[in-house]
Amino acid sequence: MWLYRRGRLLLLLALSVLALDIYFHLWPKLLLRISRDCECPGPPLREAVVSLATGASVAPTSTVPGPPKLQKLFAHPLYQPQDPHTPVPQNLLLNYHRATGSYKKRVVHFNRKRQALHTSQNSSAPLTEAVFNLSAPWLQFHLEISRDALYPRSSRTVERLIDWMGNVTVISADLSPDEKALNGECDCSQVVKPSGTHLKVILQFLDFGKAMLKPMRQRREAETPEDFFYFVDYQRHNAEIAAFHLDRILDFRRVPPVAGRLVNLTSEILEVTPNEDLEWVFFVSPANNTCFFAKCPYTCKTEYAVCGNPHLLEGSLSAYLPSLSHAPRLSVPNPWIRSYTFAGKEEWEVNPSYCDQVKQTEPYTNMKRLLNMMDLAMFDFLIGNMDRHHYEVFTKFGDDGFLLHHDNARGFGRHSHDEITILAPVYQCCLVKEDTWLRLKLLSTPEYRLSDVMRESLSQDRLQTVLTEPHLLALDRRLQTVLQVVEECVQKHGNGSVIIKESRSQAVPTRVQQRAV
C-alpha cells in the first residue's frame, strides 16, 4: 500500500514538472516560431498570449519606420553631387603636401614650447603632448575646402568631425585672438557693450586640432528682451549649433561644422591653460560652482560670468578654419551693415534704391558675389541675426569664392518676431540664385518641411533640444516670408530678371536693364 501511494506521488510530481516545462519553455518557443513564419512582424509575445487566451484579434504593428525626411532631402536630385569626387587642385584651398608638412612642423614647435613652459613652472603634473595624425577629421576638413564650399556634398568628414569635437581630449586652452589683443587694458566707463557677451575660449586637442568654445549664457526658453539692441544681445551657444545645421540643410555649406559638448571648466580649461590672463578670470561662486568671465572691453564684472554645475557647462565647439598663413582671408564690411549706435540710420535704411549703388561698386559688379549676398541675407533672416556687420572670403578664390557664414551666435533670439529689414538686400535688389530658390520651395513642402528636417538634424547633436519648438516653427513662418518677397519681385520684374542661374564672372544688370527684360 505504501509503495502504491509513493508511486502515485512520483507520477504526479513528474507530470507537474512536465506541465511547468511545457508552459514556461516549450509553449513560448512554439509561439515565437509561429510568429517568425509570418510575412509581417507579429505582435509581441505577451500580446500574442493574451489574444490566444481571450480570442481577441491583435492588429499587427509595423516595426520598420519610414525613411527620415532629412535622409530623403539629401537624396533629392537638388542635393546630389554634381562635381567630381576629387576636385582639380586649383579649386582646392590647400595644397596637400605643403599643408601637411607645415602642420607637422607646428606640432613639434607646439610641444617644445609647452615643454619649456612646463619646466619653467616646475610643475609636477604630467604633460600630454600633441600627436599629429594625417587621418584626423580636422585635417581632412581643411583639405576638402574648395572654391565652392567648406565641404563637398558627398563628404562623410563632417559627421566624423562633429563626433571628434564631442569626444577628443583637450590638452590646452587659451583666450581668443581678439581678447589677447586687449593687452589687459580696461576702462569699463567707456564700454558700449555692458553685457559681456563675447565670452569664448580656444581649445587645443590631442591631435593638434582646435575649436572655438562658446559657453552657454542663456536658457533656450528665454527670448531676447524687446528693449535689447542687437549689438548688446547675448551670444547663444545653441544658435551656433542650429545655424550650422540650417546652413547644411540649405546646401550653402558655408558655416564651419559645430558640435555641442559638455565641457569641464576645471579639468578642460583652468587646469590646462598656459595663459595667466585666462586663469585670472576663474573663480568659485558662493554656490561652490566653477565660473569664469570675459575681460574688457566686453565686461569687467563677475556678475556676467558663466558657471558650471559645479564644473560641467554646455558649450558649442566650432571647428577652426586653416590658419591665415595657409589660407588668407579678407574681412569685408557688409554693404547692408546696421548702425551700431543708439540712434541714427544707415543709407540702405532710408534709400529704397540703395542696391543700384551697390551694383556699381566692386566686388558687387560680379553677379556671383551679389547672389551670395542674397543667400547670406536669407540665411540671416531665417535665424533672426541682425549682427552681420562683416563677412569673410578666402583671398585665393577672389570674387568667385563663397562667403563664410560664421559667427552666428546672435541668431535665434526671438522666435516671436521676424525682422523683415534683414531681407533688405533681397527686396531692394530683387535677385536670388536659381538653385537657392528651388531648395527654398522644396523646403516649404510638407514632405520636406524645414522645421521637420531641422528637428531631425538637430537630434543628432549631443546636446538635447538645441532649439525649442517655437524657434523651429518660426523657421517655417520665415521661409514663407522669403518666398513671398521673391514672388513679389518676380511679379514686378519678371522671372528671368529675378531668378538667376549662377555663372562665374557674370556682370550684374543695372536697374534699367532689369526693367527692360
Residues with a catalytic annotation lie at 387
Distance CA 213, CA 233 (A): 18
DSSP state of 76: S
Q: Parallel, antiparallel, or unpaired: how do β-strands 499-500 and 329-333 relate? A: unpaired
Is residue 321 annotated as involved in ligand binding? yes
Amino acid at 294: A
Cβ(396)–Cβ(146) under 8 Å? no
The 3-class SS string of 255-305 reads CCCEEEEEEECHHHHHCCCCCHHHHHCEEECCCCCEEECCCCCCCCCHHHC
Q: Parallel, antiparallel, or unpaired: how do β-strands 170-175 and 201-205 relate? A: antiparallel
Is residue 318 annotated as involved in ligand binding? yes
Distance CA 416, CA 284 (A): 37
Length reported for the chain: 517
Cell numbers of 367, please? 553677379
Q: What are phi and psi of 251, to 5 degrees?
A: 65, 25
φ/ψ region of 60 (left if φ > 0, alpha if ψ in -120 to 50, else beta) reads beta
Label residue 346 exposed, middle or buried (CB < 10 Å: 0-12, 13-18, 19+).
middle
Cell numbers of 478, please? 520665415
Q: What are phi and psi of 72, to 5 degrees?
A: -65, -40
Amino acid at 367: M
Q: Which of 174, 177, 501, 211 is nearest to 331 (CA)?
A: 177
Contacts within 8 Å (CB) and 24+ apart, 121-130: 125/271, 128/169, 128/171, 128/206, 129/171, 130/171, 130/204, 130/205, 130/206, 130/207, 130/208
Is residue 181 annotated as involved in ligand binding? no
Q: Parallel, antiparallel, or unpaired: how do β-strands 499-500 and 432-433 relate? A: parallel
Is residue 99 annotated as involved in ligand binding? no
Distance CA 199, CA 389 (A): 19
- Cell 562683416 maps to which residue? 390
Whether a cis peptide bond, with omega within 30° of 0, leads into 89 is no
Is residue 319 annotated as involved in ligand binding? yes
Is residue 497 annotated as involved in ligand binding? no
Label residue 419 exposed, middle or buried (CB < 10 Å: 0-12, 13-18, 19+).
middle
Distance CA 60, CA 41 (A): 7
Cell numbers of 88, please? 582639380
Is residue 259 annotated as involved in ligand binding? no
DSSP state of 416: T
Element (H, E) at 175: strand 170-175
DSSP state of 66: P
- Residues contributing to the annotated binding site for Mn(2+): 407
- Residues contributing to the annotated binding site: 214, 318-321, 392, 407
- Residues contributing to the annotated binding site for ATP: 214, 318-321, 392, 407
